[in-house]
């Protein structure tokens, strides 16, 4: 069975194939064990030009607990610092209205960017999470594994944590061909492959309705500007900007929130500031001259999609539970963005509530296009 897992890796990094969308219902406990297999390639969809835009927002108090019961008049939305009218509003929580379709949880084991020791630890933590509550998962869950050649994925979401844990046992440690010992070339390969796979996952999820939480289990891929011997070239800025615009659009269209849940890396040693390097790249990018590879970092994407940055710690199962708390209580809002004056025009978004001491997490901005003539 482990060979079937590994042979299912999708060769999409170099070939440009996408994961085809499948709107299968989640498998309930007691159904056949999920199997990992390749999804057939499908032509990438084009981003829609709909003028109305939807936001999913989580509101928490000073202790990080979800805040429910808010009304539309409790929210204030600024689009490029101009007040924007909320056209549609709905609240979801465990005690009242539940999201339909249910929020999907995607657990991605990043074997491309975790060393073998970390992979073993993460597999144990994933198993601990999947087997809690006697293996009865609260949300349909998809398991993915990222390696050198792409993503291996089970064909449909499951509510059977025990079945997923059994499947996880078949995953062999992955030794990347692009290890840190390769220096800058290895870092560039891991950066390129990681970003492309996230884009392809987001593309696939646009075919399925509903909100998704992508819990990426690692601290992410290299921030090239912080790597030794990396020589930045202005010619790359345009490509970085195009990738930022495209990935941002796919994540928003898929209603996908990104999370980074990271184990401790014993090899990091005294590099205590390493987990904070992403903070150098969180400023919004409005044109190609500002773009850097670091703007595509995992933790930067988590921040800009309204997700969370957790770890590094030894309690990865606890980090996953903390991420999934966002699936239970959230708000859905719709507004109409102002017309763009030029292609890829960046708009900052600021969503706040009138009550003091509360934190709102949602998309921090978007790239807009002019109306077609």
What pLDDT does residue 23 have?
A: 34
Domain boundaries, the chain: 2-11+100-266+273-327, 55-99+331-368
Q: Are strands 82-83 and 359-361 parallel, antiparallel or unpaired?
A: unpaired
State yes or no: pLDDT of 270 exceeds 70.
no
Contacts by 67-76 with C-beta closer than 8 Å and gap 24+?
A: 67/329, 67/355, 67/358, 68/93, 68/95, 68/96, 68/329, 70/331, 70/353, 72/333, 74/353, 74/354, 74/355, 75/331, 75/333, 75/351, 75/352, 75/353, 75/354, 75/360, 76/351, 76/352, 76/353, 76/354
pLDDT band at 373 (very low <50, low <70, confident <90, very high): low
Q: Hey, which bits of 63-149 come out as E strands?
A: 75-79, 82-83, 88-92, 104-110, 136-147
State yes or no: pLDDT of 99 exceeds 50.
yes
Rounded-to-integer distance, Cα 11 and Cα 233, Å: 29
Inter-residue contact 109 to 122 (CB < 8 Å):
yes
State yes or no: pLDDT of 123 exceeds 70.
yes
- Helix residue ranges, H only, the chain: 2-7, 116-130, 161-168, 184-205, 234-253, 298-305, 316-324
Q: Are strands 104-110 and 212-217 parallel, antiparallel or unpaired?
A: parallel
Q: Which two tokens stand for residue 1?
A: 């069975």
> What is the per-residue pLDDT across 236-266, written as a single tens digit (0 to 9) for each?
899 999 999 999 999 999 999 999 999 998 7
Query: Taking the mean position of all CA atoms in its chain, how far away is CA 225?
Result: 22
CATH code, residues 2-11+100-266+273-327: 3.40.50.410
What pLDDT does residue 371 have?
A: 80
- Helix residue ranges, H only, 9-160: 116-130
State yes or no: pLDDT of 38 exceeds 80.
no
Q: Which two tokens stand for residue 196?
A: 């492309």
Mean of the per-residue pLDDT values for the chain?
Answer: 86
Rounded-to-integer distance, Cα 187 and Cα 239, Å: 17
State yes or no: pLDDT of 73 exceeds 50.
yes
What pLDDT does residue 275 have?
A: 66
Q: Which of 261, 218, 192 is nearest to 16 (CA)?
A: 192
362 or 7, greater pLDDT = 362
Total count of residues recorded for the chain: 373
Q: What is the mean pLDDT of residues 17-30?
A: 38
> What is the per-residue pLDDT across 141-155, written as a single tens digit (0 to 9) for each?
999 999 999 999 988
Query: What global pTM score does this model have?
Result: 0.87
Please state, for a pLDDT cut of 70, what percent of the chain lies above it.
84
């Amino acid at each position: 069975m482990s060979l079937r897992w590994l042979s299912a890796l999708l060769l999409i990094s170099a070939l440009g194939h996408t994961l085809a969308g499948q709107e299968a219902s989640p498998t309930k406990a007691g159904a056949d064990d999920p199997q990992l297999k390749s999804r057939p390639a499908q032509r990438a969809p084009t981003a829609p030009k709909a003028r109305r835009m939807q936001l999913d927002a989580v509101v928490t108090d000073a202790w990080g607990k979800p805040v429910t019961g808010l009304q539309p008049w409790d929210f204030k939305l600024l689009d490029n610092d101009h007040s924007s009218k909320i056209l549609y509003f709905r609240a979801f929580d465990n005690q009242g209205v539940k999201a339909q379709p249910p929020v999907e949880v995607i657990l991605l084991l990043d074997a491309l960017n975790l060393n073998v020791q970390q992979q073993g630890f993460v597999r144990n933590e994933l198993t601990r999470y999947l087997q809690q509550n006697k293996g009865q998962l609260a949300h349909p869950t998809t398991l993915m594994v990222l390696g050198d050649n792409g993503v291996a994925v089970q064909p449909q979401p499951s509510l059977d944590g025990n079945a997923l844990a059994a499947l996880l046992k078949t995953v062999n440690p992955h030794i990347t061909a692009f290890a840190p010992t390769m220096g800058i070339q290895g870092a560039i390969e891991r950066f390129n492959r990681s970003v492309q796979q996230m884009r392809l996952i987001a593309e696939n999820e646009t075919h399925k309705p509903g909100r998704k939480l992508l819990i990426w289990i690692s601290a992410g891929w290299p921030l090239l500007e912080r790597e030794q011997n990396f020589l930045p070239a202005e010619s790359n800025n345009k490509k970085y900007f195009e990738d930022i615009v495209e990935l941002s659009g796919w994540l928003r269209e898929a209603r996908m929130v990104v999370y980074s849940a990271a184990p401790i890396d014993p090899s990091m040693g005294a590099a205590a500031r390493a987990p904070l390097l992403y903070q150098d790249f969180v400023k919004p990018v409005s044109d190609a001259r500002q773009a850097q590879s670091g703007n595509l970092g995992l933790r930067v994407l988590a921040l800009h999609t309204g997700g969370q940055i957790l770890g590094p710690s030894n309690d990865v199962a606890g980090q996953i539970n903390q991420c999934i708390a966002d699936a239970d209580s959230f708000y859905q809002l719709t507004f109409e963005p102002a017309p763009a004056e030029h292609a890829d025009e960046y708009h900052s978004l600021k969503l706040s509530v009138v009550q003091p001491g509360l934190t709102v997490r949602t998309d921090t901005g978007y790239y807009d296009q002019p109306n077609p003539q």
